[in-house]
Structure 1
Amino acid sequence: MIWILSLILVVVILIPTYVTLAFYLVWHYDRRNFQAPPAEGERDPLRGSAVARAILVEAASLTFLSGTYPLRLLHDASPKRARACDHRPVILVHGYGGNSANFLWMQWRLRRQGFRNVYAVSYTPPHINARKLAAQVARHVENVLARTGAEQVDLVCHSMGGPLTRYALKNLGLAGKVNKVITLGSPHYGTRISSLFPARGAAAQMRYRSPFLEELAEGGQCPGEARFYCLYSELDNFVMPASTATLADAEENLHLPYLGHCALLYSPRVARAVCERLKAD
C-alpha cells in the first residue's frame, strides 16, 4: 500500500513538472524566434538563476493547483447574504481549464485583508464557445449582486477570465455593474501557445490576434465603464508574447518579474498588488 501511495505521489509531482518544463521550452522557442518589443515595465535581460528558481516555483504552483482541483465541490460560492463590510463584493474568475479552487490562496489572503465578501466562481466546460462561457461569468456577477444587494462588484480574473469578463462587460449587460477589473496573466490579445490546442471553442478563440479578440477590442479595450488593472510577467509560460497581457487603455499595466502563469495565483507580490488596487479609490 505504501509503495502505491508513493507511486501516486511521484506521478502527481512529475506530471506538473513535465508540463511546466515543456511549456517553458515553447516559451524559449517563442522568445527566440518571434522577437517583440518589451512590454511596459519589462526588464531585460533575464538572469539565469532567477529564471531557474521561477521555473521551480511554477512547477510547484501547478502541482498545488492540480492537487486542489477537486476542492471545487466545496469551494464554489453561492452567497446567501452580504457580510458587513465597507468594500464592494469581489468575484474571482479563473482561467481556461480551471475552477474556483484555483483561488483558494488568493481568497484567503483577501479575507485576511478585510475583504469579507469574496466569491470564487466556476464556468464549464472550457472547450465551448467563449461567448457562452462569458454568459456564465455574467450570470455569476448578477447572482452576487442580487444576493448581496450591492450596486457594483470588483473582479479579479486569471488568464482567460480576463477576456471573458471584457466580453461580458461589452455585450452581456454588465456595463456599470463592475467598478474594477484586475487581470492576472490574461491573454487579452490571445497567446501563440493556444495553437498547440485543438482548434475548437475557446481554445481557438484565445489564439494570438484571433478574430474573436480583435472584435472584442473594437470600440475600446476596457468596456463597461470599468477600471482595468493588468498584472503580468515576462516569464509567463502560457501568455506569448507577454505584451498581450496588457491593455493600452488600462489604468495600469503592472509588470511583476519572474512569475510563471500559475505562480501568479499564489505569489505574495501579486496578492499585495491586488489588495492595494482593490482598496484604492
Structure 2
Amino acid sequence: MIWILSVVLVVVALIPAYVTLAFYLVWFYDRRNFPAPTEDHQPTPLRPGRTLAAMLLEAVSLSFLVASYPLRLIQDASPKRSRAWDRPPVILVHGYGGNSANFLWMQWRLRRWGFRNVYAVSYTPPHINARKLAAQVARHVERVLERTGAEQVDLVCHSMGGPLSRYAIKNLGLAGRVRKVITLGSPHHGTRIAALFPARGAAAQMRYRSPFTKELAEGGECPGGARYHCFYSDMDNFVMPATTARLEQAEDNLHLPYLGHCSLLYSPRVARAVAERLRAD
C-alpha cells in the first residue's frame, strides 16, 4: 500500500515538471521564430546554466501552486473593516485557472512588510466570458471598499488578472476607485500560447491580438486614472511574446529576467518591487 502511494506521489510530482518542459519547448520555438523586440527591450541572451535553473524554479513554483490550490478555503475570508489608514487596501487578483491561494506567499510577505490590509480574491469558472469574470473582480473590489471604508484600492494582478482588472476599471465602474495597478506577467495584448487551449470563453479572448484585447486598448491602454506598473520576463513560458505583458502608457515596464510565469508569484525580487511601488506616493 505504501509502495503504491509512493508511486502515485512521484507521478503527481512529475506532472508539473512535464508541463513546464512542454511549455518551455513552445516558448523556445516562439522565441526563435517570432521575435518581437521593442526599442527599449531586446531579448536577454540565454545562458545555459541560468536558463536551466530558471526552468527548474518554474517547475517547483508550479508544483507549489498546484499543491496549495485547496487552500483557497482559508484565503477567501471576508474582509474586515480596517483600522489602518496609512495606505489603501491591496487586492490580489489571480490568473487563468488559479484562485486566491496563488498569492499565499506574496500576501504573507506584504503583511510582514507592514501592509495590513491585503486581500486575495477568486473568480470562477475560468472558461466563461472574460467580461463576466471581470464583473466578479469588480464586485470583489466594491466589497473590499465597502467593508474597509477606503476610497481607493491598489490591485496586484497575475496573468489574466491584469486584463480583467483593466476591463473592470474601464467598463464596470471602477474608474477613480483604483489608485494603482501592478501586473505580473499579464497578457495585455493576448498570448500565442492561448491558441493551444479550446477556443471557448476567456481562453479564446486571451489569444494574441484578439478582438477582446484590441477593444480593451481602445481609448488608451491604462484606463480609469490609475497608475499602472507592468512586470514581465522574457522567460515567461505562458506569455508570448514577452512584450505583450507591457503597456506603453504604464509608468514603468520592469523586465525581470530568468523568471517563469508561476515563478513571478514566489520571487523575492518581484515581491520587493511590488512593495516599493505600493509604498510610493
- TM-score calculated relative to the size of structure 2: 0.98
The 1:8–1:29 alpha-carbon spacing in structure 2 relative to 1, beyond 3 Å, is same
Q: Map residues 163-178 of structure 1 onto 2, 5 A cutoff.
A: 163-178=163-178
Aligned amino acid, residue 239 of structure 2: V
The 1:257–1:82 alpha-carbon spacing in structure 2 relative to 1, beyond 3 Å, is same
Is the contact made by 1:40 and 1:255 (CA closer than 8 Å) also made in structure 2? Answer: no
1:9 to partner: Cα distance: 2.0
| Runs of 5+ consecutive residues of structure 1 not aligned to the other structure | none
Tell me what 1:74 maps to.
74
1:82 to partner: Cα distance: 1.2
Tell me what 2:263 maps to.
263
Is the contact made by 2:91 and 2:155 (CA closer than 8 Å) also made in structure 1? Answer: yes
1:85 to partner: Cα distance: 4.5
The 1:103–1:142 alpha-carbon spacing in structure 2 relative to 1, beyond 3 Å, is same
1:41 to partner: Cα distance: 4.4
Deviating above 4 A after TM superposition, structure 1's stretches of 4 or more consecutive aligned residues are none
1:45 to partner: Cα distance: 1.3
Q: Whole-Å Cα distance in 2 between the matches of residues 47 and 107 of structure 1? A: 32
Give identity over the alignment, percent.
Answer: 79
For residues 125-181 of structure 1, the C-alpha deviation after alignment (integer angstroms, 9 at most, x for no partner) is 000000000000000000000000000000000000000000000000000000000
1:35 to partner: Cα distance: 2.2
Aligned residues: 281
Q: Whole-Å Cα distance in 2 between the matches of residues 68 and 39 of structure 1? A: 39
Is the contact made by 1:95 and 1:157 (CA closer than 8 Å) also made in structure 2? Answer: yes
Task: Please state if 1:277 is matched with 2:257.
Answer: no
Give the CA RMSD over aligned residues.
1.1
Tell me what 2:253 maps to.
253
Task: Please state if 1:17 is matched with 2:21.
Answer: no
Q: Map residues 88-107 of structure 1 onto 2, 5 A cutoff.
A: 88-107=88-107
Q: Whole-Å Cα distance in 2 between the matches of residues 4 and 152 of structure 1? A: 52
Is the contact made by 2:192 and 2:207 (CA closer than 8 Å) also made in structure 1? Answer: yes
1:258 to partner: Cα distance: 0.2
Tell me what 1:154 maps to.
154
Q: Whole-Å Cα distance in 1 between the matches of residues 277 and 265 of structure 2? A: 16
| Runs of 5+ consecutive residues of structure 2 not aligned to the other structure | none
1:11 to partner: Cα distance: 1.9
**Higher mean C-alpha displacement, 132-141 vs 70-79:** 70-79
SS of the equivalent of 2:183 reads strand
Q: Map residues 166-245 of structure 1 onto 2, 5 A cutoff.
A: 166-245=166-245
Aligned amino acid, residue 141 of structure 2: V
The 1:196–1:53 alpha-carbon spacing in structure 2 relative to 1, beyond 3 Å, is same
1:39 to partner: Cα distance: 7.2
Aligned amino acid, residue 213 of structure 1: T
**Higher mean C-alpha displacement, 71-80 vs 110-119:** 71-80
For residues 46-68 of structure 1, the C-alpha deviation after alignment (integer angstroms, 9 at most, x for no partner) is 11111100000000000000000
Task: Please state if 1:44 is matched with 2:29.
Answer: no
Q: Whole-Å Cα distance in 1 between the matches of residues 20 and 155 of structure 2? A: 27
Q: Whole-Å Cα distance in 1 between the matches of residues 42 and 127 of structure 2? A: 32
Q: Whole-Å Cα distance in 2 between the matches of residues 21 and 164 of structure 1? A: 28
